[in-house]
Chains A and B, each alone.
Chain A
Amino acid sequence: MSTAPKPSESEKKSDRIILDKFQPVFNRDACQMCKRCIKECSYGALESKGNRIWYKGGCVACQRCAAMCPTRSIEIRQVPSQMAPHATYDDRVRQAITSQASTGGVLLSSCGNDGPYDHIFDDIVLDAAQVTNPSIDPLREEVETRTYLGRRSGKVTLSGDGCVAESDGSGPIVAMDMPFMLGHISLGAVSYNTQKSLFMAARNLNIIAGSGEGGLHADFFQYADHINSEVASGRFGVTPEYLKRTAAVEIKIGQGAKPGHGGHLPGEKVTDLISSTRMIPLGTDALSPYPHHDIYSIEDLQQLISVLKESTEYRVPVGVKIAAVHNVGAIASGIVRAGADFITIDGFRGGTGSTPRVIRDHAGLPIEVAIATVDRRLTAEGLRNRVTVCAGGSIRNSADMIKVIALGADVAMVCTSALVALGCRVCQSCHRGLCAWGIATQRPELVSRLDPEVGAKRVTNLYNAWNEELKEIMGAMGIDSVESLVGNRDRLRYLGPNPKIAEAMGLKHAGEGWG
């Protein structure tokens, strides 16, 4: 553990020149000195002195003051205006070194990987129907987006009159009206009002939402039919009741934002509410071990899957979530063979409430490559039709969702977009617990800024819109059911700089047709 002495005042002062990245600029003519901005800024960056608002430092560009200013007289600008240009030692590299020289700590961050990697989604173009395969107008004809989560029957036998006589191995399934689910965001990482908004939205949309690893607050049992209960290495709040009041159970092995890393909810966030939901002592660090200590192999994973199925009496599907890592195809194969009813692959841009920056920015695989690899591997081994495959890790819009499905996912997992709908401005400060929008915080005065009714409505609107766009695209492709889009790589073409990537995903290059 680091025991670095605290930086001196003069150190802090000189470091601040480099570390201060943003600055609110005030239109003094329009400012009425209502001081609302000071109240709104949970980072304590503003003060009033001599009948003026002054900036003290520490702005994270969350935009709360600007959004709440009644006269719109605040604008957030980037600082410093100019460091000596250097393409290798860019501003951020210099900031990281400066900060660590002062604290001696592991740099934390949140949200997802913000590094300048190419977005492969943006290098993929969709096909559309022309002449020989007529398109479908989704406003007139049915375009089916209903999706099932769970183990599919491997084999169906028909009787002489064409009825299903026997279906082999079909497990419990959950029907969702749309091919997406809300990812796992724990109570602790986010506020009570945030989770409530998400669960209400999941019910409105008839999809499922992840509980996160922090257990389930008793108030949320009413949403159980739309909740996917997570069993992570910390086992917080995992009681028989938690396992029974749920639509699905998911074992979390890894998370895209921090592959191979555990969880760490600092004691400041372990309030009464979090302590009682996670069932841990007040104010202590809530640690999730890096691995599950009952899982060191696929055979061990099979046992945890089996015991969860026994415990839920085979009523709900049991899935496994992993981060997209280099050997993801083989791992996914093992997970299916271990008995998982669904698997979730989380790409390296997936979000988090807190993670070491070095892991967030440098470990894992993009979801585009990972999902295509998993889909091909499972198909080659004759396993793909047994399970539902979910994929997440920065699904930013309906286009990404459509592409990830065509690359091999049954279900797209979304998360950050839902938080943006709630007010998040992706300032990447969740780990500080001071979220001015009442999302990633446990402070009552901040939590109350988010109205769950309004939040639920906005998340519902967002995904309803995406689902309509999905129908529009499928109609234009001449596809009338989302199940026909799953793994349908022929309707995608690669238009990027690296043909090797296209090969890894099993995509043809733009210009290559069918004949």
Chain B
Amino acid sequence: MSCACPSEAHHSADGQLETVIDASGHDQYGRPIDYRTLNVEIRKAMEEGASRIIIKGVMGQRYIASAATAKGLYIGIAGTPGNNLGAFLNGPTIEVFGNAQDMTGNTMSSGRIIVHGNAWDVTGLAARGGRILVKGSSGYRVGIHMKAFGDQHPTVVIGGRAGDYLGEYMAGGAILVLGNGIPGSESPIGLFAGAGIHGGAIYVRGEVGEHQLGTGAAIRPIEEADRATIEELIADYERSFGATVDRDWERFKKIAPISSRPFRGHFDPTPI
């Protein structure tokens, strides 16, 4: 960890403190700089009151900005961050100009993660608030066990397709899969969608068959309130990526829980 991770702070035209961190360096063995070094620089910039942190040359460093707590902070990432980007995130906006790996936004509380590419498996695991927007596709087990409480309402938008076990164990919040670039004959989601779901909703633009649903999930009609939720999510997606999405409402499907108490009746509490 002896290698340097240079950073430079300056005030932008509007008086905001912006810190630019160059993560493209290597250690004495030629490896990309350690995530610990990078996170120390990020935390230092946060302590100095930066409102924008730009990280250049990211090469697979994991755990970037984990548990970062700062409302209004913007973290821009050029390159490819590693697993667990923005885990336990609480407040900041992270924008990735590239792909993200596994466990993006793991157990996040609030904030935004915007990925201008794909995000792989287990995106948004156990999120209890905040928003994750992925321009492209995501992998297996997206939005597992998302929750909701009070004004915290986690949302995940995937532009392309998502893999199996989408929204497994989901307890709250909303997932939207837009299916951009997916032929109409194919489903943009995999199998076991919403397995064990007991709260929240999954919206899919494209084909969804009964055989793709997991235990406890059902296909429900899109109501007026759903349409408002979807409209807001699509508008955010369009703003974030400069894209246009058709409001072809007849193509949208909603996957929702059959019950908020999926295990009622499964157990026998008789004392033996």
Contacts and interface: CB of A to CB of B under 8 A. Distances in A.
A294 B125 contact: yes
Contacts of A287: 145, 169, 171, 196, 198, 262-263
Interface stretch (B7-15, B35-43, B226-234): B35-43
Contacts of B270: 19, 99, 103, 107
B69 interface: yes
Most chain A CB atoms below 10 A, which of B62, B67, B102, B169: B67
B271 interface: yes
A429 interface: yes
A310 B271 contact: no
Given A92-B272, A311-B88, A285 B67 contact: no
A388 interface: no
A267 B261 contact: yes
Nearest to B200: A281
A275 B149 CA distance: 8
Contacts of A310: 35-36, 39, 63, 66-67
Contacts of B103: 294, 303
A280 B149 contact: yes
B272 A96 contact: yes
A294 B63 contact: no
B36 A293 contact: no
Contacts of A1: 215-216, 262-266
A166 to B, nearest CB: 17
A19 B270 CA distance: 8
A428 B261 contact: no
Contacts of B88: 238-240, 243, 307, 311
B236 to A, nearest CB: 23
Nearest to A240: B67
A287 B66 CA distance: 25
A311 B168 CA distance: 26
B199 A284 contact: yes
A287 B265 CA distance: 15
Contacts of B52: none
Contacts of B135: none
Contact of A267 (B62, B66, B144, B260): B260
A95 B272 contact: yes
B269 interface: yes
A280 B109 contact: no
Contacts of B66: 307, 310-311
B268 interface: yes
B145 A234 contact: yes
B30 to A, nearest CB: 22
B268 A284 contact: no
Contacts of B112: none
B63 A307 contact: yes
Interface in B3-54: 35-36, 39, 43
B269 A108 contact: yes
A349 interface: no
Contacts of A306: 62-63
A275 B152 CA distance: 13
Nearest to A106: B267
B255 to A, nearest CB: 17
Given A238-B107, A303-B103, A306-B62, A293 B122 contact: yes
A369 B78 CA distance: 52
B131 interface: no
B253 interface: no
B162 interface: no
B199 A281 contact: yes
B77 interface: no
A4 interface: yes
B145 A285 contact: no
A484 B162 CA distance: 55
Interface in A284-300: 284-287, 289, 293-294
A445 interface: no
A96 B269 CA distance: 11
Contacts of A286: 171
B90 A239 contact: yes
Interface in A1-17: 1-4
5 contacts: A275-B149, A294-B106, A310-B36, A357-B272, A431-B269
Interface of A: 1-4, 19, 21, 60, 92, 95-96, 99-100, 103-109, 233-235, 238-241, 243-244, 264, 266-267, 275-276, 278-281, 283-287, 289, 293-294, 303, 306-307, 310-313, 356-357, 427-429, 431-432
Given A100-B268, A281-B147, A306-B63, 15 more contacts: A1-B262, A19-B272, A96-B272, A99-B268, A235-B107, A240-B109, A241-B69, A266-B264, A280-B149, A285-B260, A287-B263, A303-B103, A307-B84, A310-B67, A432-B269
